Amino acid sequence: MKLSIVISTQPAKFDALAYKGQLAENIIKIRRLGYDGVELAVRDPEQIDLPTVKMLTVGRGFPVSAIGTGQAFGEEGLSFSDPDEKIRREAIDRIKAQIALAEQLEALVIIGLIRGIVQPGIETRQANGWILDALSECASENPSVSLVIEPCNRYEANTVNTVNDGIELIDKLGMSNVGLLLDTFHMNIEEPDMLQSIENAGDRIFHFHIADSNRWYPGAGHIDFPAVVEQLKRIGYDGFLSAEIIPMPDPDTAAAKNISFMRGLVG
Protein backbone atom coordinates (compact mmCIF):
# COMPACT_ATOMS: atom_id res chain seq x y z
CA MET A 1 0.00 0.00 0.00
CA LYS A 2 1.09 3.55 -0.76
CA LEU A 3 0.63 6.73 1.23
CA SER A 4 -0.71 10.04 0.01
CA ILE A 5 -2.27 13.13 1.55
CA VAL A 6 -4.91 15.54 0.30
CA ILE A 7 -3.85 18.99 -0.75
CA SER A 8 -6.10 21.63 -2.17
CA THR A 9 -5.19 23.23 -5.48
CA GLN A 10 -6.80 26.47 -4.37
CA PRO A 11 -8.02 27.98 -1.10
CA ALA A 12 -11.12 26.14 0.11
CA LYS A 13 -13.76 26.56 2.76
CA PHE A 14 -13.88 22.86 3.59
CA ASP A 15 -11.28 22.43 6.33
CA ALA A 16 -10.44 18.71 6.21
CA LEU A 17 -7.60 19.35 3.87
CA ALA A 18 -4.04 19.05 4.95
CA TYR A 19 -2.82 21.97 2.90
CA LYS A 20 -4.26 24.96 1.18
CA GLY A 21 -2.68 26.99 -1.57
CA GLN A 22 0.99 27.19 -2.41
CA LEU A 23 0.60 24.12 -4.53
CA ALA A 24 4.11 23.58 -5.87
CA GLU A 25 5.71 24.22 -2.52
CA ASN A 26 3.33 21.83 -0.83
CA ILE A 27 3.82 19.02 -3.33
CA ILE A 28 7.58 19.28 -2.89
CA LYS A 29 7.18 19.38 0.88
CA ILE A 30 5.06 16.24 1.15
CA ARG A 31 7.35 14.41 -1.26
CA ARG A 32 10.27 15.25 1.01
CA LEU A 33 8.29 13.92 3.99
CA GLY A 34 8.31 10.52 2.30
CA TYR A 35 4.83 10.30 0.77
CA ASP A 36 4.35 8.08 -2.29
CA GLY A 37 1.88 10.42 -3.96
CA VAL A 38 -0.58 13.24 -3.54
CA GLU A 39 -4.37 13.54 -3.70
CA LEU A 40 -5.58 16.80 -5.21
CA ALA A 41 -8.78 18.56 -4.19
CA VAL A 42 -9.89 20.47 -7.27
CA ARG A 43 -12.87 22.80 -7.43
CA ASP A 44 -12.69 23.47 -11.16
CA PRO A 45 -10.13 21.89 -13.51
CA GLU A 46 -10.26 25.07 -15.62
CA GLN A 47 -8.41 26.85 -12.85
CA ILE A 48 -5.60 24.32 -12.76
CA ASP A 49 -2.27 25.05 -14.38
CA LEU A 50 -2.10 21.54 -15.84
CA PRO A 51 1.45 21.61 -17.28
CA THR A 52 2.85 22.71 -13.92
CA VAL A 53 0.83 20.22 -11.90
CA LYS A 54 1.77 17.43 -14.30
CA MET A 55 5.42 18.41 -14.16
CA LEU A 56 5.38 18.42 -10.33
CA THR A 57 3.66 15.02 -10.06
CA VAL A 58 3.47 12.30 -12.70
CA GLY A 59 6.19 14.05 -14.71
CA ARG A 60 8.57 13.38 -11.83
CA GLY A 61 7.28 9.93 -10.99
CA PHE A 62 5.17 11.22 -8.10
CA PRO A 63 1.62 9.90 -8.67
CA VAL A 64 -1.65 11.69 -8.11
CA SER A 65 -3.68 9.14 -6.16
CA ALA A 66 -7.06 10.75 -6.71
CA ILE A 67 -8.89 13.97 -7.50
CA GLY A 68 -11.38 15.19 -4.92
CA THR A 69 -14.36 17.05 -6.35
CA GLY A 70 -16.46 18.10 -3.34
CA GLN A 71 -15.52 21.79 -3.44
CA ALA A 72 -17.81 22.29 -6.45
CA PHE A 73 -20.70 21.37 -4.15
CA GLY A 74 -19.44 23.16 -1.04
CA GLU A 75 -18.56 26.40 -2.81
CA GLU A 76 -20.72 26.49 -5.93
CA GLY A 77 -23.67 24.31 -4.98
CA LEU A 78 -23.28 21.96 -7.94
CA SER A 79 -24.72 18.51 -7.30
CA PHE A 80 -26.06 15.35 -8.91
CA SER A 81 -29.22 15.47 -6.78
CA ASP A 82 -30.29 19.08 -7.22
CA PRO A 83 -33.94 19.40 -8.30
CA ASP A 84 -32.81 21.99 -10.89
CA GLU A 85 -31.87 20.13 -14.05
CA LYS A 86 -29.51 22.93 -15.08
CA ILE A 87 -27.48 22.53 -11.88
CA ARG A 88 -27.37 18.75 -12.29
CA ARG A 89 -26.10 19.28 -15.85
CA GLU A 90 -23.40 21.67 -14.60
CA ALA A 91 -22.36 19.11 -11.97
CA ILE A 92 -22.10 16.36 -14.59
CA ASP A 93 -20.11 18.61 -16.93
CA ARG A 94 -17.80 19.54 -14.07
CA ILE A 95 -17.15 15.88 -13.31
CA LYS A 96 -16.47 15.25 -17.00
CA ALA A 97 -13.85 18.00 -16.84
CA GLN A 98 -12.40 16.31 -13.75
CA ILE A 99 -12.30 13.04 -15.70
CA ALA A 100 -10.33 14.73 -18.47
CA LEU A 101 -7.93 16.10 -15.86
CA ALA A 102 -7.72 12.70 -14.18
CA GLU A 103 -6.77 11.05 -17.47
CA GLN A 104 -3.83 13.46 -17.79
CA LEU A 105 -2.78 12.82 -14.20
CA GLU A 106 -3.53 9.06 -14.24
CA ALA A 107 -5.75 9.52 -11.19
CA LEU A 108 -9.13 8.36 -9.88
CA VAL A 109 -12.05 10.80 -9.59
CA ILE A 110 -13.88 10.92 -6.24
CA ILE A 111 -17.68 11.14 -6.16
CA GLY A 112 -18.41 12.27 -2.62
CA LEU A 113 -20.21 15.47 -1.65
CA ILE A 114 -20.89 16.22 -5.34
CA ARG A 115 -23.79 13.77 -4.94
CA GLY A 116 -25.42 16.62 -3.03
CA ILE A 117 -27.97 16.71 -0.23
CA VAL A 118 -31.45 15.48 -1.08
CA GLN A 119 -33.55 18.54 -0.43
CA PRO A 120 -36.76 18.63 1.63
CA GLY A 121 -39.72 17.80 -0.56
CA ILE A 122 -37.65 15.71 -2.98
CA GLU A 123 -38.21 11.96 -2.76
CA THR A 124 -35.09 9.95 -1.99
CA ARG A 125 -35.98 7.55 -4.79
CA GLN A 126 -36.06 10.48 -7.26
CA ALA A 127 -32.72 11.84 -6.02
CA ASN A 128 -31.13 8.40 -6.17
CA GLY A 129 -32.35 8.08 -9.75
CA TRP A 130 -30.66 11.37 -10.66
CA ILE A 131 -27.45 10.26 -8.95
CA LEU A 132 -27.50 6.93 -10.77
CA ASP A 133 -28.07 8.65 -14.13
CA ALA A 134 -25.27 11.13 -13.49
CA LEU A 135 -22.87 8.38 -12.43
CA SER A 136 -23.75 6.27 -15.42
CA GLU A 137 -23.16 9.17 -17.83
CA CYS A 138 -19.87 10.15 -16.16
CA ALA A 139 -18.56 6.58 -15.98
CA SER A 140 -19.28 6.10 -19.69
CA GLU A 141 -17.35 9.25 -20.58
CA ASN A 142 -13.96 7.59 -20.40
CA PRO A 143 -13.71 3.93 -19.39
CA SER A 144 -9.99 4.32 -18.68
CA VAL A 145 -10.70 6.69 -15.76
CA SER A 146 -12.15 5.19 -12.60
CA LEU A 147 -14.73 6.89 -10.42
CA VAL A 148 -14.97 6.13 -6.70
CA ILE A 149 -18.10 6.57 -4.61
CA GLU A 150 -17.37 7.74 -1.08
CA PRO A 151 -19.92 6.85 1.61
CA CYS A 152 -20.07 9.94 3.86
CA ASN A 153 -21.47 10.13 7.38
CA ARG A 154 -25.08 11.20 8.02
CA TYR A 155 -24.11 14.77 8.88
CA GLU A 156 -22.44 15.42 5.53
CA ALA A 157 -24.71 13.55 3.16
CA ASN A 158 -28.11 11.93 3.01
CA THR A 159 -27.36 9.47 0.24
CA VAL A 160 -24.83 6.62 0.49
CA ASN A 161 -23.98 6.95 4.18
CA THR A 162 -22.86 3.38 4.77
CA VAL A 163 -20.49 1.00 3.02
CA ASN A 164 -23.48 -1.22 2.32
CA ASP A 165 -25.28 1.68 0.57
CA GLY A 166 -22.14 2.08 -1.53
CA ILE A 167 -21.93 -1.62 -2.39
CA GLU A 168 -25.58 -1.60 -3.50
CA LEU A 169 -25.02 1.46 -5.70
CA ILE A 170 -21.88 0.00 -7.32
CA ASP A 171 -23.56 -3.32 -7.97
CA LYS A 172 -26.66 -1.64 -9.40
CA LEU A 173 -24.49 0.44 -11.73
CA GLY A 174 -22.43 -2.57 -12.73
CA MET A 175 -19.63 -0.63 -14.48
CA SER A 176 -16.09 -1.89 -14.07
CA ASN A 177 -14.59 1.60 -13.77
CA VAL A 178 -16.73 2.53 -10.73
CA GLY A 179 -15.60 1.46 -7.28
CA LEU A 180 -15.68 2.54 -3.65
CA LEU A 181 -13.65 4.94 -1.56
CA LEU A 182 -13.87 4.02 2.12
CA ASP A 183 -12.93 6.58 4.77
CA THR A 184 -12.11 5.59 8.34
CA PHE A 185 -13.55 8.80 9.84
CA HIS A 186 -16.94 8.24 8.20
CA MET A 187 -16.86 4.50 8.97
CA ASN A 188 -16.25 5.17 12.68
CA ILE A 189 -19.66 6.87 12.77
CA GLU A 190 -21.63 4.70 10.36
CA GLU A 191 -20.22 1.16 10.44
CA PRO A 192 -20.97 -1.17 13.37
CA ASP A 193 -17.79 -3.08 12.49
CA MET A 194 -15.33 -1.30 10.20
CA LEU A 195 -13.24 -4.42 9.57
CA GLN A 196 -16.29 -6.40 8.49
CA SER A 197 -17.35 -3.56 6.18
CA ILE A 198 -13.91 -3.55 4.55
CA GLU A 199 -14.24 -7.28 3.97
CA ASN A 200 -17.75 -6.85 2.54
CA ALA A 201 -16.57 -4.16 0.12
CA GLY A 202 -13.61 -6.35 -0.93
CA ASP A 203 -12.27 -5.70 -4.41
CA ARG A 204 -14.78 -2.90 -4.96
CA ILE A 205 -12.39 -0.73 -2.88
CA PHE A 206 -10.43 1.37 -5.38
CA HIS A 207 -9.25 4.07 -2.95
CA PHE A 208 -9.03 4.54 0.82
CA HIS A 209 -9.06 7.63 3.06
CA ILE A 210 -7.48 7.64 6.48
CA ALA A 211 -8.26 10.02 9.33
CA ASP A 212 -8.61 9.20 12.98
CA SER A 213 -11.95 9.21 14.86
CA ASN A 214 -11.64 12.96 15.52
CA ARG A 215 -10.48 13.57 11.92
CA TRP A 216 -6.97 14.38 13.11
CA TYR A 217 -3.95 12.43 11.80
CA PRO A 218 -3.99 8.66 12.47
CA GLY A 219 -2.78 8.05 16.00
CA ALA A 220 -4.59 11.09 17.43
CA GLY A 221 -7.87 9.24 18.03
CA HIS A 222 -9.09 5.74 18.83
CA ILE A 223 -9.32 3.99 15.44
CA ASP A 224 -7.37 0.73 15.39
CA PHE A 225 -5.19 1.43 12.33
CA PRO A 226 -2.98 -1.66 12.73
CA ALA A 227 -6.15 -3.78 12.42
CA VAL A 228 -7.43 -1.70 9.47
CA VAL A 229 -4.15 -2.07 7.56
CA GLU A 230 -4.03 -5.78 8.37
CA GLN A 231 -7.56 -6.24 7.04
CA LEU A 232 -6.77 -4.30 3.86
CA LYS A 233 -3.72 -6.50 3.28
CA ARG A 234 -5.85 -9.58 3.89
CA ILE A 235 -8.35 -8.62 1.15
CA GLY A 236 -5.50 -7.79 -1.22
CA TYR A 237 -5.91 -4.00 -1.36
CA ASP A 238 -2.75 -2.43 -2.75
CA GLY A 239 -3.89 1.10 -3.57
CA PHE A 240 -3.31 4.33 -1.69
CA LEU A 241 -4.09 5.19 1.92
CA SER A 242 -4.73 8.87 1.51
CA ALA A 243 -4.89 11.16 4.55
CA GLU A 244 -7.87 13.50 4.47
CA ILE A 245 -7.32 15.10 7.83
CA ILE A 246 -7.85 18.31 9.73
CA PRO A 247 -4.56 20.27 9.58
CA MET A 248 -4.14 20.28 13.37
CA PRO A 249 -2.20 21.20 15.41
CA ASP A 250 -0.75 22.66 12.17
CA PRO A 251 -0.51 21.34 8.59
CA ASP A 252 3.18 20.37 8.71
CA THR A 253 2.88 18.50 12.01
CA ALA A 254 -0.26 16.69 10.84
CA ALA A 255 1.42 15.58 7.60
CA ALA A 256 4.57 14.46 9.42
CA LYS A 257 2.69 12.61 12.18
CA ASN A 258 0.57 10.78 9.61
CA ILE A 259 3.46 9.55 7.49
CA SER A 260 5.51 8.54 10.49
CA PHE A 261 2.67 6.53 12.07
CA MET A 262 1.34 4.98 8.86
CA ARG A 263 4.76 4.10 7.38
CA GLY A 264 5.31 1.94 10.43
CA LEU A 265 2.17 0.00 9.54
CA VAL A 266 2.35 -0.34 5.76
CA GLY A 267 6.13 -0.63 5.46
Contact 154, 188 (CB under 8 A): no
Is 191 one of the annotated active-site residues of the chain? no
Q: Which of 221, 248, 256, 266 binds its own copies (CB under 8 A)?
A: 221
Candidates 129, 126, 137, 232; CA nearest to 175 is 137
- As measured in angstroms, the least distance from the Cβ of 256 to its own copies is 18
Alpha carbon 81 to chain centroid, angstroms: 19
Question: Which residues, in sequence order, are CB contacts of 189 under 8 Å at separation 6+?
Answer: 153, 154, 155
3-state secondary structure of 248: coil
The single residue of 39, 103, 150, 191 carrying the catalytic annotation is: 150
Q: Is position 222 an interface residue for its own copies (rule: CB under 8 A)?
A: yes
Q: Which of residues 181-220 bind its own copies (CB under 8 A)?
A: 188-194, 212-214, 216, 220
Contact flags string 145-184 toward its own copies, x per CB under 8 A: ----------xx----------------------------
Contact 151, 168 (CB under 8 A): no
Q: Is position 56 an interface residue for its own copies (rule: CB under 8 A)?
A: no
Cα–Cα distance for residue pair 147/145, rounded to 1 Å:
7
Q: Which is nearer to its own copies, 83 or 221 (CB)?
A: 221
Determine the size of the site formed for its own copies (CB under 8 A). Answer: 16
For the chain, how big is the Rg over CA atoms in Å?
17
Q: Which is nearer to its own copies, 175 or 248 (CB)?
A: 248
CA angle 99, 242, 132 (to 5 degrees): 40
- As measured in angstroms, the least distance from the Cβ of 207 to its own copies is 23
Q: How many CA atoms lie within 13 A of 170 on its CB side?
A: 26
Q: Which is nearer to its own copies, 43 or 186 (CB)?
A: 186
The single residue of 39, 190, 191, 244 carrying the catalytic annotation is: 244
Adjacent-strand bridge partners of 209: 183, 242
- As measured in angstroms, the least distance from the Cβ of 208 to its own copies is 19
Cα–Cα distance for residue pair 113/124, rounded to 1 Å:
16
State residue 158 phi and psi, 5-degree precision.
-120, 20
Is 103 one of the annotated active-site residues of the chain? no
Q: Is position 120 an interface residue for its own copies (rule: CB under 8 A)?
A: no
| Residues belonging to the active site | 150, 244
Residues near its own copies (CB under 8 A) are 155-156, 188-194, 212-214, 216, 220-222
